[in-house]
Amino acid sequence: MSSAPNAVPMVDLRKQYHDLKQDIDQSLSDVLENTQFILGSNVKAFESECAEYLGVKHAIGCANGTDALHLAMLALKLGPGDEVITTPFTFIATAEAIAYVGATPVFVDIDPHTYNLAVDQVEAALTPKTKAIVPVHIFGMPCDMAPLVSLSQKHNLHIIEDCAQSFGATSNNAQTGSLGDIGCFSFFPSKNLGAFGDGGMVTTNSDELAADLRMYRAHGSKERYVHSVVGYNSRLDEMQAAILRQKLPHIDRYNQERRRVAARYNEQLADLPVQLPLLEAPASETASVPVFHQYTLISDYRKPIQAALQDANIASAVYYPIPLHKQVAIQNEMTSTPSCPIAESHSERCVSLPIFPELHNDTVDRIAGVVRQAINNA
Ligand SMILES: Cc1ncc(COP(=O)(O)O)c(C=O)c1O
C-alpha cells in the first residue's frame, strides 16, 4: 500500500536545526551558563565574523532587518523634505524605514526579469530633493549595482542596500551589503541566514557611519549614560547571535543548495508558458551570484497553480500581492504618483514555490509536475 506523499512547506526550519542541533544546543547552553545576555561575547564575535565574511570594515548587530534600515536612514541623516528612491516590489519594511525618518519614498519600476529596481529608470526620477537610493536584492538576486554606484557618485547620493533576502549573494565577486554606504540584513527565521527569532545587521566601511549606527542602536549613546541624540533600543540578542554563529560557516553550502533547487525547477518547467526566474544576472548587468531566498514564477495561471498545489498539500505564496505604491499606508507618505506597470503586473501574476537547502530533487520534480498539470488543465 503506498502512502500519500508528505506535505511540503515553503521552508522547513526543523531540518536545518536538526542538522546543527548539537552545536546549537551547546552554544545556547553556554549563553545560559555565562549569563552575558545583552551585547555579550557572541554578538561581538558574530559581528566580526560577519564583517569578515561580507568583506566590510564594520558589521553591527541590531534587533531586526526593519531596524537595520531605520538605523541606516538615521545615520545618513535623512529626514523630512528628502526623497529616497526605491522599488515598489518589496516587503513594506523597505518603505516604512523611509517613512520613520519623515523622508518621502519615490518609487521606480522594476526590471521584468530580475524583479529588481530598473536602474536605467532611476536617473529620470532624480530631483534636487533626492538624497538616497535603496536597492533591494529581491529574492536574493543582486540588483545591478555598478550603474547605481556611478549614478550615486555623479549626483552625490547615498546608497542603502536592503540585503534582507540576499545574505551571501555576490555582485562582481563582492558581497551584497559591501557595495553601498550601508547594507541592511535581516535574520528573520526563514531568511537564508535565519535566527530562531528576530535579528538584524548593518554593515558599512565608514568609521563615522559605524560609530553613529552603534550610537543609534544604543539609546543615542556613545559613552555610557551620556546621550547626545534620542536613539533606540535595537540590539541583536545574544542567544540569536550564538545560533547565527553556528549557521554562518554553512551559509555558502546552504546557498549552493538553493541554487541547485532553482536550477532543477527551471529545468523541469522550461517548456511551460511561465516566466522562470533567472539563474544569474542578465549579460547586460554586472555578473552576480544569486542566493534564491525565493523561487518566483510569473504566470497568468497563478490561481490554478496555487489551487493544484494546495490540493497536493504543497505550499505556495505570493510575494508580493500589492506593490508598495498601491499600499494605503505608503501612499500617505508619497508626494507623487509613480508609473510602475511592471511591478503592478508582476504583483498580479507572481507565485513563489517552496525552496530551502534540504529540498530534494525528487520533491522539486513532484512540485514541478503539479505545476505542469495545473497549467495543462487550465
Ligand atoms: C526586503 C526586506 N526588507 C526588510 C525586511 C525586514 O526584516 P525584518 O523582518 O527582520 O524586520 C524584510 C523581511 O521580511 C525583507 O524581506
* pLDDT surpasses 80 at 347: yes
Per-residue pLDDT reduced to its tens digit, 280-309: 998 888 899 999 999 999 999 999 999 999
Report yes or no: 279 and 260 within 8 Å, Cβ to Cβ: no
Per-residue pLDDT reduced to its tens digit, 230-274: 999 999 999 999 999 999 999 999 999 999 999 999 999 999 999
Report yes or no: 85 and 318 within 8 Å, Cβ to Cβ: no
Which protein residue has the closest C-alpha to ligand 1 atom 12? 164
Give the pLDDT confidence score for residue 3 in this predicted structure. Answer: 61
Among candidates 290, 239, 294, which has minimal Cα distance to 61?
239
Per-residue pLDDT reduced to its tens digit, 212-223: 999 999 999 999
Q: Is 162 in the pocket of ligand 1 (CB under 6 A)?
A: yes
**Alpha carbon distances (Å) from 182 to 94, 109, 162, 208, 331:** 14, 22, 9, 12, 26
State the average pLDDT over residues 5-26: 95
Quote the ligand 1 centre to 91 CA distance (angstroms). 6
All domains of the chain, ordered by start, with CATH? 13-249 (3.40.640.10), 250-377 (3.90.1150.10)
Quote the ligand 1 centre to 134 CA distance (angstroms). 13
The ligand 1 atom at the shortest distance from the C-alpha of residue 97 is 4
State the average pLDDT over residues 61-84: 98
Say how far apart CA 203 and CA 240 lie, in whole Å: 18
Angle between helices 41-54 and 238-247 (to 10 degrees): 40
Quote the ligand 1 centre to 217 CA distance (angstroms). 17
Q: Is 64 in the pocket of ligand 1 (CB under 6 A)?
A: yes
To the nearest whole number, what is the mean pLDDT of the chain?
97
Residues sharing a CB contact under 8 Å with residue 281, sequence separation 6 or more, in sequence order: 114, 141, 142, 144, 171, 287, 288, 290
- The counts of H helices and E strands in the chain are 12, 14
| Confidence (pTM) | 0.97
The ligand 1 atom at the shortest distance from the C-alpha of residue 293 is 16
How is residue 59 written as a grid cell?
558589521
Quote the ligand 1 centre to 51 CA distance (angstroms). 20
How is residue 319 written as a grid cell?
510575494
Which protein residue has the closest C-alpha to ligand 1 atom 7? 65
Q: Is 186 in the pocket of ligand 1 (CB under 6 A)?
A: yes
* pLDDT surpasses 80 at 80: yes
